[in-house]
Structure 1
Amino acid sequence: MTDAANPVAGLEPSASLSVEKVLSVRHWNEHLFSFTITRPASFRFRSGEFVMIGLQGEKKPLLRAYSIASPAYAEELEFLSIKVPDGPLTSRLQKIQPGDDIYLGRKPTGTLVADALLPGRRLFLLSTGTGLAPFISIIRDPDIYDCFEQVVVVHSVRRVSDLAYREELESLLDGDPLVDEQAKAQLTYIPTVTREPFRTTGRIEKLMEDGTLFAGRVAEPHRFDPEHDRLMLCGSMAMIKETAEMLDKLGFTEGSNAKPGEYVIERAFVG
């Protein structure tokens, strides 16, 4: 039984769920936080995949799909979440503390993985809000820099304080034990803010149209090329829909684990 005074204590594992310990919690602002939990020795995943996590509900576990923000080799698992005051899960999840128990699904899956893309030269990771999470995993995986000559992370948010992992990304993962040198040579970070003053403003679609997406360190051409460019999209339904339609018109094809293509989205999140 769950302790009424501590709703995240006394969880019981099952065939599909393990029970892990919360290791750390980081509150980015009043509606965004990230946290790390223990990783079972048997838990294997590909950088960019998602898994079910959650807490105990009234009669059964209350679970939601979360992209894993840590790379596949990490000893702990990291997640990025919004805070929804009346959300069935996030209203409670945002209150977790180190030492609390949490459910972890035993079977990660997903299409935001390098395996679902054809070989290419440039990889664009386009995200809004917490859609950044799987890309934090991917850019800390050494294998991605062997697959692509350049990796471009684009993160669109409403407010400057919503730019989670901004310091790490602006430093190009300085000091990372495995990808420090590769990231400095091959990684580009483009943050953009839509509702506050910032050096880059506007939605991702605007950055495509005015060329901002291809400025600075980004190698030519200053347009998307289906022969050499590969893309992953994660975040708002509007961004994914508009960008996918644009890519389709340019001759890109959506990929999957069964049939790799030029771009991928996470179907589990967009329906």
Structure 2
Amino acid sequence: MSAAPEAKYTEETVLWVERHTPKLMTFAITRPESYRFSAGQFSRLGFRDGSGFIWRAYSVVSAEYADTLEYFAVLIENGPMSAKLAALQSGDTVLLDKTATGFLLPERFADGRDLVMLCTGSGIAPFLSILEQPEIWQRFDSLTLAHSVSYAGELIFNGRIAALQAHPLVGEYFHKLTFLPVLTREQAAGALNKRLPELLKNGGLAAAAGKTFTPQDTRFMICGNPAMVRDTFQALLDMGFAMHRNRIPGQIMMENGF
């Protein structure tokens, strides 16, 4: 006999909400002692909606060892879940599916020296979690994170990434990280100015990272809007890289952002 729906989730309390722009917000909820996830995975969050429920998947921003669960949301106009999140306040209740899921996990790569994380919008969330894990810094010789957004005001995590230099667990490895902000609809000092697939094709991303991307050494993780994921994947295929599968090792892992 299958479990009742109520047995599949817990009710968690919103601890804080921060609205960075009219469309971008981060928030944290309480974490049950029994809740486990791997950096790179996502949670299913929900609300009661009339006589039913509404559920959406959000990658966990928090480190695996954090006491709370943090998420990053991009609000969609007229989106039913976005409407719930837009009204979210500290003290409110959010439903949390008891099981985290997702396969955007760097430990799935059996080899490689250089890890390149490519993302748009909320697709940065799993990488923020991954970057707080000491193992990732110890395993790879270099880490590159490229975050592509439309406008400079949407680069809301630049300070958080810079603060990793003082992180008690990963700060000593900070010199391994190259962070590349990317803007597609305006220009700003210190940012690249083309879509990620184009930056791969024209060599601009590799040049900015100071690396030569090779199937032997480079491993790619991609997360973001479906068009970027599709086009970036194709660009990498054209460059000689292959999808990573459990039985057939490759150099690319990808997941659409939620």
Question: TM-score surpassing 0.5?
Answer: yes
Structure 1 residues 19 and 257, CA gap change in structure 2 (3 angstroms): farther
Q: Judging changes above 3 Å, is the alpha-carbon distance between structure 1 residues 96 and 258 closer, same or farther for their aligned structure 2 residues?
A: farther
User: CA offsets per residue over residues 190-223 of structure 1, 9 Å max, x none?
Assistant: 001111221221211232234331235x3432xx
TM-score (norm 2): 0.91
| 1:174 is the counterpart of 2:165 | yes
**For residues 235-263 of structure 1, what are the alpha-carbon distances to aligned partners after superposition, in whole Å with 9 as ceiling and x for unaligned?**
11121111111222333222246665311
Matching residue of 1:74:
66
Cα distance in structure 1, aligned partners of 2:201 and 2:247: 32
% identity of equivalent residues? 35
Contact map agreement 1:128 1:155 (CA 8 A) in 2? yes
Amino acid across the alignment from 1:252: F
Q: Does 1:231 align with 2:223?
A: no
SS of 2:44 mapped into structure 1: strand
Deviation for aligned residue 1:163: 0.9
Q: Structure 2 CA distance, aligned partners of 1:89 and 1:133?
A: 18
Aligned equivalent of 1:263: 252
* Contact 1:118/1:262 (8 A) holds in 2: no
Question: How far 1:62 moved relative to its partner?
Answer: 0.7
Shift of 1:40: 0.7
Distance, in Å, in 2 between the alignment partners of 1:175 and 1:70 is: 17
Cross-structure match for 2:243? 254
Q: Within 2, Cα distance between the matches of 1:172 and 1:107?
A: 30
Q: How many residues align?
A: 253
1:193 equivalent in alignment to 2:167: no
Match of 2:28 in 1: 36
8 Å contact kept, 1:118–1:230: no
**How many angstroms apart in 1 are the aligned matches of 2:204 and 2:179?**
12
Alignment-mate amino acid for residue 212 of structure 1: G
Stretch deviating more after TM superposition (31-40 or 247-256): 247-256
* 1:140 counterpart residue number: 132
Q: Is the 8 A contact 1:232 1:264 kept in 2?
A: yes
Q: What's the C-alpha RMSD, in Å, of the aligned pairs?
A: 2.0
Check 1:26–1:258 CA distance in 2 against 1; reply closer, same or farther (3 A cut).
farther
In the alignment, the residues of structure 2 paired with residue 57 and residue 247 of structure 1 have an alpha-carbon distance, to the nearest angstrom, of 42
Once the two structures are overlaid, the 10-residue window that deviates more, 254-263 or 192-201, is 254-263
Runs of 4+ aligned residues of structure 1 deviating over 4 Å after TM superposition are: 256-260
Q: Counterpart of 2:188 in structure 1: which amino acid?
A: F
Give the aligned partner of residue 107 of structure 1. 99
CA distance in structure 2 between the partners assigned to 1:95 and 1:118 by the alignment = 43
1:16 CA displacement:
1.2
Alpha-carbon distance between aligned partners in 2 of 1:23 and 1:257, rounded to the nearest angstrom:
38
Q: CA deviation at 1:168?
A: 1.7
2:64 and 2:147 map into 1 onto residues whose CA distance is 22
1:161-184 residue CA offsets vs partner (Å, 9 max, x unmatched):
111211122x251322211121x2
Q: Aligned partner of 2:238: which letter?
A: K
Q: Which runs of 5+ in 1 are unaligned?
A: 1-12
What pairs up with 1:16-31 in 2 under 5 angstroms?
16-31=8-23
1:111–1:257: 8 Å Cα contact kept in structure 2?
Answer: no
The SS at the match of 1:174 is: helix
- Of the three residues 213, 233, 247, the one matched with 2:205 is 213
- Quote how far apart the aligned CAs of 1:94 are: 2.0
Alpha carbons 2:197, 2:235 under 8 Å: kept = no
Confirm whether residue 162 of structure 1 aligns to residue 150 of structure 2: no
Match of 1:116 in 2: 108
Matches of 1:118 and 1:94, distance apart in 2: 41
Structure 2: runs of 5+ lacking an equivalent: none
CA distance in 2, matches of 1:146, 1:28: 32
